[in-house]
Amino acid sequence: MPRPLCITMNILNYFQPAIAYAATSPVAAFVGRVNRYITNPLIVLMFAAALVYFLYGVFEFLMNADQAEARETGKDHILWGVVGMVIMLGVFTILHIIEKTLGITANANIPTN
């Protein structure tokens, strides 16, 4: 193995117990609760708002097929609705990657009562 890779593996092995413990810590439980009850519902709400904005743009585009200015407004709404949905999908994906990397689950030590 090349020397830098060996050093990197040794450093990762040094921190492995701390990383394994982080998944069961109170901080992980708190982050899991925040993700489950605050962050994820906000992402879903913002995604739904972007979807409604997109659908409004489609409706506006189709209903005003004879007016060029109204069609352009509809195209803009469609574009920004798609941009909003892509951003929310990206935020959800990045948060999921961070959760998996740190070993935090959305149900980490959360009582079901």
| pLDDT tens digit sequence for 35-70 | 888 998 999 999 999 999 999 999 999 999 899 999
What does the DSSP 8-state code read for residue 37?
Answer: I
Is residue 69 in some structural domain?
yes
The pLDDT, as a whole number, for residue 14 is 52
For 67: left if phi > 0, alpha if psi spans -120 to 50, otherwise beta; the answer is beta
- Using 50, 70 and 90 to split pLDDT, how confident is the model at 21? very low
Domain holding 15, by residue range, is 3-102
Q: Could you tell me if 53 and 88 are in contact, meaning their C-beta atoms sit under 8 angstroms apart?
A: no
Residue 40 inside a domain? The answer is: yes
Confidence of residue 77 (pLDDT cuts 50, 70, 90): very high
Residue-wise pLDDT tens digits, 87-104 = 999 999 998 888 888 777
Flag whether 39 is in a domain: yes
Structure tokens at 50: 């972007």
Kindly state whether residue 97 falls inside one of the protein's structural domains: yes
Q: Is residue 109 part of a domain?
A: no
Binning the chain into helix, strand and coil, the percentages to the nearest 5 are 80, 0, 20
Q: Is residue 79 situated within a structural domain?
A: yes
Is the residue at 112 inside a domain? no
Give the pLDDT score at 76.
96
* Number of structural domains in the chain: 1
- pLDDT of 22 over the 50 cut: no
Q: Say if 111 falls within a structural domain.
A: no
